[in-house]
Amino acid sequence: MSDNPLPESFLLGTSTSAYQIEGAWDQDGKGESVWDRFTHRPGVIKDGTDGDRACDHYRRVDEDVRLLDSLGVDAYRFSVSWPRVIPDGTGAVSAAGLSFYDRLVDRLCARGIEPFVTLFHWDTPQALEERGGWTNRAIAGWFAEYADRIARLLSDRVTHWITLNEPISVAGAGYLAGVHAPGRRSPIAAARAAHFQLLAHAHATDAIRAVTPSARIGIANSFAPVYPLRPRDSRVAARVSAVLNELFMDPLYFGSYPGAVGPLLGLLNRGVRSGDWDLINRPPDFVGVNHYSRYLAKRTIIPFVGVRFLRPADRINLTDIEWEIHPPGFRSILGWIRDRYGNPPVYITENGASFDEPVRDGRVDDIRRISYLHGYLTQMQAAIEDGSDIRGYFVWSFLDNFEWAYGFSQRFGLVHVDYDTLKRLPKESFRFYADVCRTRDPHRSFIAQADRTPTDRSRADSGRTDS
């Protein structure tokens, strides 16, 4: 456990995404997104809800920025809704959409909160999906057009840009498994979506750089250590680790797809044309790391992948979304990134936990979330002491929100949202993280929080995974 506080230059923040919080899905000229279309289909979302209203952030932006200010964060990561600013994905621009993000950034900067702008967090314009979406090579150019427009709007106030959030989720959940928008199930489509997202990242990087040469441009990928359930599962664990952790990194650093992905390699290379690797093979200015848990893998017969993820019965330390709480895996994967990719600058762009603690007497005592954050922050500090170049950390999420295929059934927020009234209520984890932002010392803040809630401290300790 580190006794050293985080340096003053280290950014502490929190994250959201447009579709999950904004609402106003068809207001002020916004175009339809693939998630608007997908969630309006019966039976695809666990609790039957949609993001039409979500947290109504579009109308409550002033209130939400005031909450961010009271939290004391250095930075706020949010995403721009592509169809809100370019309703058809290309061509005519919505003045109202541009104005919304212009005002949001102004309000953040006025309070000394640095904006980290994500250009794409899964809400592809439906009009482009009808032209093939991420399976159409032309989308790289459409995305660059969009990136240029947002850069021209915000580059005087924004330094840090993230092109794509978790492209593995778009390709895998959206085009292979069909559990996310657009709900397709095709290995060929998934492979094309993977390659064309990388191409779009490259073109968007050039578009932003042309507007603002001093920009810091990165990509946010999902990372998780993958362990074999049994010794004989080692090869299949290596394969799934390559898919999860290397597929959208090796092309940027080494100019090719990782051979360890196995049968997927042939499908991926089908989409590659001459000159693609020259564009793609450029390391980003920083790597965004989204991390929540680890995986255990077991060999099975599943086409193109050949693995099954297991949650053994003895893995009892789970969040409400049934992801294992395993803080040591955080340090492990950060060390792996450091060693494989030459210690790139890293921002932890997402880390957090789903716990649905009730509102009692006007407060939410989410001590389990506090314990989770303390454990993971401590492991991040250990990774820094190991030599990893980690420059910032963003809690997922600022607000309870629409959690994709789970609807509103999972709560990740530091702020509780009553989905009937939309009232915001900062949780105890909000107060804990505010103290972390003030002291730069997660362990000191954890002890201070425990002193405020001594009864709950024993509950947290009883469910803690010791490192």
Q: What is the CATH number of the domain that holds 385?
A: 3.20.20.80
In a domain, 140, yes or no: yes
The predicted-structure confidence for 282-304, as pLDDT tens digits, reads as follows 999 999 999 999 998 887 655 55
When pLDDT is averaged across residues 78-96 and rounded to a whole number, the result is: 99
pLDDT for residue 175 is more than 60 = yes
User: What values do phi and psi take at 316, rounded to 5?
Assistant: -90, -15
Predicted local confidence at residue 453, as pLDDT: 61
Predicted local confidence at residue 305, as pLDDT: 55
Active site annotation includes 166: yes
The predicted-structure confidence for 16-39, as pLDDT tens digits, reads as follows 999 999 999 999 999 999 999 999
Predicted local confidence at residue 263, as pLDDT: 87
When pLDDT is averaged across residues 262-267 and rounded to a whole number, the result is: 92
Comparing 231 with 70, the larger pLDDT belongs to: 70
Question: Domain of 35?
Answer: 11-462
Lowest mean pLDDT among 119-123, 163-167, 300-304, 349-353: 300-304
In a domain, 4, yes or no: no
Tell me if 346 sits within 8 A of 386, measured CB to CB.
no
In a domain, 1, yes or no: no
- Please tell me the total count of domains within the chain: 1
In a domain, 434, yes or no: yes
In a domain, 96, yes or no: yes
Predicted local confidence at residue 134, as pLDDT: 99
In a domain, 142, yes or no: yes
CA distance 431 to 340: 37
Supply angle C-alpha 135, 141, 146, rounded to 5: 110
0.85 exceeded by the pTM? yes
In a domain, 430, yes or no: yes
In a domain, 3, yes or no: no
The predicted-structure confidence for 10-20, as pLDDT tens digits, reads as follows 999 999 999 99
When pLDDT is averaged across residues 245-272 and rounded to a whole number, the result is: 96
Q: Of the listed 22, 114, 129, 350, which one is catalytic?
A: 350
Q: Please give the share of the chain, as a percent, with pLDDT higher than 90.
A: 88
Burial class (CB in 10 A: 0-12, 13-18, 19+), 101: buried
Q: Of the listed 114, 129, 166, 428, which one is catalytic?
A: 166
Query: DSSP secondary-structure letter at 235?
Result: H
